[in-house]
């Protein structure tokens, strides 16, 4: 397995012997170990059913771990034991570790700018958000993010009237309203046409360049090589490659997509 050279930037996440099994079924995640650093754009690649989406949801705390550790900001005195969080502490983690979903998860009947402002729900509160009582500085930031994503002209349009690419960019803006240190994206371009795919990938790359750690599930090796700084290949719940996208030669891709994995 190719070795990943740790970045000199801050370590924001450590995964140690992470495992996940559903009931009595076979494990879908089998002893994963890796670190994530600020400023990285990391692709997770592998066959369908390899455990890619499960991994991201475990990191975000939307899927419970079976065993192992997920440590947020491991070098800080107040490091977070993500796998043990619940209630308010877990909601706070999800604000720091944002998530972008393949199906966008927007509120269709709300306008675009309100959907973006819902990224501040953990701070604004449910009642004030329902009444659209958002602080002026949050509104200003939402406008700035819509300008950055090229959607300012759609700010007052209902989300249900947007294209898939536009919805995904709204979802990105909403996630950035949380001021995340980590951004996870579960197959963010799977349903998009080529033009919108590159718009979204360019946005995610720009986000990583702002010293935010970005980790995404991708199916396209071409996109991985074009946009990502690192790639983790998973086969049947195990890491079989962790390194530069330049190292994804035919033999490595065969290990990821066709062969049975060896112990990571």
The model's pLDDT over 207-233, given as tens digits with 9 standing for 90+, comes to 999 999 999 999 999 999 999 999 999
pLDDT number for residue 126 = 62
- pLDDT class for 9, splitting at 50, 70, 90? confident
Sheet holding 11-20, edge to edge: 29-37, 11-20, 67-72, 80-81
- With contact defined as beta carbons under 8 Å apart, do 43 and 52 qualify? no
Cα separation, 84 vs 199, in Å, equals 36
The model's pLDDT over 184-214, given as tens digits with 9 standing for 90+, comes to 999 999 889 999 999 999 999 999 999 999 9
Tokens encoding 133: 């009582």
pLDDT number for residue 25 = 73
Q: How many CB atoms lie within 10 A of CB 161?
A: 12
The model's pLDDT over 24-67, given as tens digits with 9 standing for 90+, comes to 778 899 999 999 999 999 999 999 888 999 999 999 999 999 99
Say how far residue 228 (Cα) sits from the centre of its chain: 13
- pLDDT class for 248, splitting at 50, 70, 90? very high
Residues sharing a CB contact under 8 Å with residue 132, sequence separation 6 or more, in sequence order:
114, 117
Closest by CA to 231, choosing from 216, 213, 210, is: 216
């Amino acid at each position: 397995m190719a070795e990943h050279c740790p970045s000199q930037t801050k370590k924001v996440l450590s995964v140690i012997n992470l495992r996940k099994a559903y009931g009595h079924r076979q494990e879908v995640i089998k002893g994963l170990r890796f670190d994530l650093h600020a400023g990285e754009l990391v692709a997770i690649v592998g066959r369908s059913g390899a455990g890619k989406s499960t991994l991201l949801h475990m990191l975000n705390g939307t899927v419970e771990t079976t065993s192992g550790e997920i440590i947020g900001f491991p070098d800080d005195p107040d490091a977070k034991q993500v796998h043990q969080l619940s209630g308010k502490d877990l909601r706070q983690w999800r604000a720091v570790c944002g998530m972008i979903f393949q199906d966008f998860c927007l509120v269709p009947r709300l306008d675009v700018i309100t959907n973006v402002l819902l990224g501040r729900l953990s701070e604004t509160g449910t009642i004030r958000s329902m009444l659209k009582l958002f602080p002026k500085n949050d509104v200003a930031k939402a406008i700035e993010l819509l300008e950055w994503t090229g959607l300012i002209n759609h700010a007052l349009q209902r989300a249900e009237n947007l294209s898939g690419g536009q919805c995904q960019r709204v979802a990105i803006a909403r996630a950035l309203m949380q001021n995340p240190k980590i951004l996870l994206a579960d197959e963010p371009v799977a349903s998009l046409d080529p033009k919108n795919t590159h718009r979204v990938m360019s946005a995610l790359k720009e986000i990583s360049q702002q010293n935010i750690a970005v980790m995404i599930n991708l199916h396209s090796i071409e996109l991985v090589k074009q946009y990502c700084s690192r790639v983790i290949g998973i086969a049947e719940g195990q890491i079989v490659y962790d390194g530069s996208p330049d190292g994804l030669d035919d033999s490595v891709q065969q290990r990821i997509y066709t062969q049975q994995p060896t112990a990571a």
